[in-house]
Structure 1
Amino acid sequence: MRLNINKYQEMMQQRNIEKADIERMTGITVQTLDWIFENEYLEVSTLERLAQVVECDTKEIALPDHYGNENVIEWVKDGKTATLSLTQGRTISRVMKLAKSRPEECKIIAENKDGSICARVPINWIRINPPKQFTDEQKKEMAYRLNGNNFNRANTGNEMD
Structure 2
Amino acid sequence: MDSSVQARLDDFIRRKGLRRTNQRDAIVRAVFSKDEHFTAEELFERVRKADSDTSRATVYRTLGLLVEANLLQQIDLGDNQTTYDPNFLDKPSHNHLVCIDCGRVVEFEDMNLDLLNDCVTRRLGFKPLRQSIKIEANCEQLRLKGRCPNLIASRLSGKRLRKKR
Give the TM-score taking structure 2 as reference length. Answer: 0.32
Give the greater-gyration-radius structure (CA).
1
Give the TM-score taking structure 1 as reference length. Answer: 0.33
